[in-house]
Chain A
């Protein structure tokens, strides 16, 4: 099919439709910014000098759209990997494990290499459960570059915990215990 003329025609139009869809998606992504021109919370920001803690301004006074170091609230994270896919510098690495419940995934590794992050904010916009956010921390100076890798993962599941998890699934009364290695 792919080698015939109909196949190439089909792929031509399919790629056209994909391109149009991506344009429409990008247009709708900027729609909220387009209408925030007139007012609202997003209009409050102003360009300012480096906000040092000695002056009266603190990190909390920074505007709402500040793109500081990334922070992931791991309890909310569903491990969908949208942020990993959308990241242009590939600075996010995620590993997930299957749990007993089909609707949940165990996010064992969620590492962000802040030395590669360009603070574009695409991962934050693509995050469905709003767990990944820009914090208002902006000072990331370290002595060793590897210190900039921030881990948010829950750690790998040990076989004992997996057993406990399964037993919890079978009898709902047993409470899952978070003590032990790997956490």
Chain B
């Protein structure tokens, strides 16, 4: 059942370039994922961050980036290059300690990319199609947060130790409602695997999980809000904020370390949103698109474009909402999780089960 489509796809791509494929499969898949990242994901993430900077500047009656390139579009690239040539300050402790911190940065980077590669971006970029693929991704993100905690503790600065503790606590509260939401979607789709999620949502727009069951519609905001808390994104981002504001986690990095840390944060956010696209908006299914009989060279990139298109549409909507809200402390975020999101997610899990039973009883399937 679990065919590895990406293997044929990768072989065909390399053969068309005149390369005989004799690599071990992990290297082949890593190359393919690198192509996906450079071709689709990094440019799109760059565009999203540019839009965010412009909109935030507009709300604060500033212009935002406007010097480098057309309307300041290349400002981000300029900032990145500037960070690369920055020398690291010495306040972070002795050399041995900095080595340890670098090790934990490597752990964060690799676990976030493990989470990223476990998610399906279309059949061409699909490493796993098992029942635990979603959980592999979620647990990798949790693991990256443990590394964030230890790197904060090792920085020997009180502000970093405290804020890493806050980030850790925030993450471990936010994971609870997510599991309830994932289980309720699995009840609705009768499975966790990407292929099962696609099959149950593919026939029409009204088969998408968000439309087929009112309780899934209820649990959708729970998933996205707890994702923002889990990753410490904008309204809940106080543990990660810059050092001069509250003593956040980003203050312990500088130079190219900061680039890697910021990249892992945006990649983990994208991973989260893509899982959301799979759970609620039907993956690569798109009403009215004839998938049968398409060549794999057109089909697989098309699936990727549809998934990323849906994901970035959701990202823009979230950007629009979160820009309007004030920042919350981590204890306020925890209160929101315990008092609102967990009850709603438990309710939606129970409701989904009852709804599916009633559907079967009345023969509506």
Interface residues of A (CB under 8 A from B): 16, 23, 26-27, 29-30, 33-34, 36-37, 42-43, 45-47, 63, 65-67
Contact = CB atoms under 8 A, between A and B. Distances in A.
Given A23-B325, A27-B324, A67 B54 contact: no
A67 B61 contact: yes
Given A16-B340, A46-B63, A36 B58 contact: yes
B62 interface: yes
Interface of B: 54-55, 58-59, 61-63, 66, 320-321, 323-325, 340
Contacts of A66: 61
Nearest to A19: B340
Given A36-B58, A46-B63, A23 B321 contact: yes
B320 A34 contact: yes
A47 B320 contact: no
B325 A47 contact: no
B320 A27 contact: yes
A26 B55 contact: no
Contacts of B55: 33-34, 37
Contacts, number: 36
A29 B326 CA distance: 13
A47 B62 contact: yes
A67 B61 CA distance: 9
Contact of A30 (B54, B323, B340): B323
B119 to A, nearest CB: 29
Given A46-B63, A47-B63, A27 B321 contact: yes
A30 B62 contact: no
* CB-based closest 4 A-B pairs: A26-B324, A65-B61, A30-B324, A27-B324
A67 B288 CA distance: 50
A45 B320 contact: no
A42 B66 CA distance: 15
26 contacts: A16-B340, A23-B324, A23-B325, A26-B324, A26-B325, A27-B321, A27-B324, A29-B324, A30-B59, A30-B320, A30-B323, A30-B324, A33-B55, A33-B58, A34-B55, A36-B58, A37-B54, A37-B55, A37-B58, A42-B58, A45-B61, A46-B63, A46-B66, A63-B61, A66-B61, A67-B61
A33 B56 CA distance: 10
Contacts of A63: 61
Contacts of B320: 27, 30, 34
A37 B71 CA distance: 11
B72 to A, nearest CB: 12
Contacts of A65: 61
Contacts of B324: 23, 26-27, 29-30
A47 B321 CA distance: 26
